[in-house]
Chain A
Amino acid sequence: MRTSAQRFIVEPNDSLGQSVVEGLGTLPQQLGGSTKRFAPGRGADGNGANRQSIGFWVVDASPEVREQAYSYVYASSVLNQKIRPMIFTSSNDLKAIRRFGWLVEHVLSRESFERLSDGEWNEYLSSRLEGALSSLDLKAVVFVGKNGITPYLHKQVSLITKTSSPLSALT
């Protein structure tokens, strides 16, 4: 059983996200404090302790979903000034993400992984997530499924960041 203050926001129908979270090992209790002040991105005005470090997981997401997620994260970053975002991706979007100045946690794509390993890609993803959670001390990870940023995901992000911008203002 995981013991950590870190939160994982996954839609019930997001099978990849659910599987990756289920594959996580035991996490230290003290994690989740957003203490590691990595680059907050170009939308941020400062990098203070009031920011929550939140990972946005767009691994295996379509280009449209990824672009919608980046727009949402950027708008939230600029409007609310409450998050220190980072992006998990297996895509070639490095340039697209770097234009916002966010930290990227790149993972091997499913195809590349299967060329190199007999293991399970989901297990690799869980292990990579675990590494990022511990090295970057994330407060939460938002799994952006095939429907993009949904009202459910937005509500959970709002609760964590204690913000009240409507989803329509951020997408």
Chain B
Amino acid sequence: MGLSTPSTAERKPRSVIPVKNGRKKPRVAFVTSNGAGMGHLTRLLGIARAVKDELEIVFVSLSQASPVVEKFGFPFVYIASSSEAGLSAKDWNAYARQRFGEEFAWIEPDAVLFDGTWIYGGLREALNESGIPLIWSRRGMWKEHIPDRSLANSRFTAGVIEPGECAAEFDHGATTRVADAIKVNPITIVSRNELMDKESARSYLGLREGENAVLVTLGAGNLNSLDETLSHVVAALQSEAPGWKIFLTSNPIAGGREAFEGVESLDYYPVVNLANGFDAVVSASGYNSYHEWIMAGVPALWIPNLETQADDQRARAVFADRTGIGVCVEEPTAESVSAAIKRLVDPNEQRAMRSALEAASSENGAYRAAQELTQMFEKECEA
């Protein structure tokens, strides 16, 4: 665990961030990386929902899915990522420096909360030029080969908040070698008590009395090709769980995907709100999905996306299998998926998983993160 190992960076004393005159609440720009996914955006949305009474929030995001924050009442502006802009890293950083700089000049945030693994050079320069303090929301579970160098950025921040990991025991990445962060419980976009109740969720899903339902949500389809895995999963569910209704998420940013017979498409954000309507889920093991389904207590088959740049989804999936809170398939073939689905829908296995999930669930870390964030600012704002 990070706190018990030798560290190359130590947590700095908390600095107090001044708030601009005339403001009733500190204004914070929530900046996220992404582009292809919405993991960073969803995590910050969890914090934003928890802190919205204390801070004034505006999202400045590189995620194509950023309009979703408007549904939660937050303003946003989008900045194209380097791959979307089609610019070289050097040109994009110059572009990003100008884009962030312009928005910050108009928005005048008291601070920026950034969620991402790498703090972009362009963002850092824009912050340096405007003198705006940076707070880093930096989750752990980096793949082992990701160099520690990026961690040096914490020295330029006013604070680091580390969203917790249920599978922290299996984290061998760079962030375990530093003790520079305020660690909070796993952060989820909603808390358990906010989920739609079972009857309403089942009614929304159109389920008949006694009918079982499973959700298949394998993440952003544009990170790697998922069609083959999806075919294995659907075939295995149809064969091992006859009579179960199968739902497939239409990811907000993934393009069209081959339709499967007898499978319903579900476009709902955040889909975990419907968790009480499902008997099982088949999911990629990205940070948000993983902690959301554990929080909701739904038995899951985890199929890690191994093509992510930095996130060690494999470690989370294996941890779930070893500790009985889920089932894991690392290499999805027709045979391995079929065997895993058989376990997932088995009533005895389901009972054991639900019981292990109850023990694993924790209070939503978004609230503690919100509290820590709020405490970073001057106490006195204009009434």
Kindly provide the distance from the CB of A84 to the nearest chain B CB, expressed in whole angstroms. Answer: 9
Are B77 and A108 touching (Cβ within 8 A)?
yes
Q: Indicate if the CB atoms of B75 and A103 lie closer than 8 Å.
A: no
Which residue of chain A lies nearest to B101 when distances are taken between CB atoms in the complex?
Answer: A131
Determine whether B331 belongs to the interface, using a CB cutoff of 8 Å to chain A.
no
Task: Answer whether residue B72 sits at the interface, using C-beta atoms and an 8 A cutoff.
Answer: no
Would you call B95 and A116 a contact (CB within 8 A)? no
Additional 17 contacts, C-beta under 8 A, given A39-B86, A94-B67, A107-B77 = A36-B91, A38-B85, A38-B86, A92-B67, A94-B66, A104-B78, A104-B80, A111-B75, A112-B76, A112-B77, A116-B107, A117-B107, A124-B106, A127-B102, A127-B105, A135-B95, A136-B95
**CA separation between A115 and B103, bound complex, in Å?**
14
Residue B10, interface by CB 8 Å: no
Say how far A113's CB is from chain B's closest CB, in angstroms. Answer: 8
Query: How many residues of B are in contact with the other chain, CB < 8 A?
Result: 31
Q: How many A-B residue pairs have CB under 8 A?
A: 73
**A131 with B107: CB separation less than 8 A:** no
B77 touches A103 (CB 8 A): no
| A residues neighboring B (CB under 8 Å) | 36-40, 47, 92, 94-95, 98-99, 103-109, 111-113, 115-117, 119, 124, 127-128, 131, 134-136
Residues of A contacting B70 in the complex (Cβ-Cβ under 8 angstroms) = 92
B79 at the interface (CB under 8 A from A): yes
B253 lies within 8 A of A95 (CB): yes
Residues of B within 8 A of A131 (CB): 98-99, 102
CB pairs A–B below 8 angstroms (7 shown): A105-B80, A106-B79, A107-B77, A108-B106, A111-B75, A112-B75, A135-B94
A119 to chain B, nearest CB (A): 7
Chain B neighbourhood of A116, CB < 8 A: 27, 58, 75, 106-107
CB of B87 closer than 8 Å to a CB of A: yes
Q: Which residues of B lie under 8 Å from residue A106 when comparing CB positions?
A: 77-79
Contacts of B103 in A (CB 8 A): 108
Residue of B nearest to A47 (CB): B86
Does B262 have its Cβ within 8 Å of any Cβ on chain A? Answer: no
CB distance from B64 to the nearest CB of A (A): 5
For B102, the closest partner residue in chain A by CB is: A131
Assembly CA distance A155 to B116 (angstroms): 45
Of the candidates A39, A98, A109, A135, which one forms a contact with B64 in the assembled complex, judged by CB atoms under 8 Å apart? Answer: A98
B250-261 interface code vs A (CB 8 A; 1 in, 0 out): 001101000000
Counting from the closest, the 9 A-B pairs by CB-CB distance are A39-B86, A112-B75, A92-B67, A106-B78, A94-B64, A131-B102, A38-B86, A108-B77, A135-B98
- Which residues from chain B contact A112 at a C-beta distance below 8 Å? 58, 75-77
Q: Is the CB of B67 within 8 A of A119?
A: no
| A contact residues around B65 at 8 Å (CB) | 94
Q: Which B residues are CB-close (under 8 A) to A105?
A: 80
Residues of B within 8 A of A94 (CB): 64-67, 78
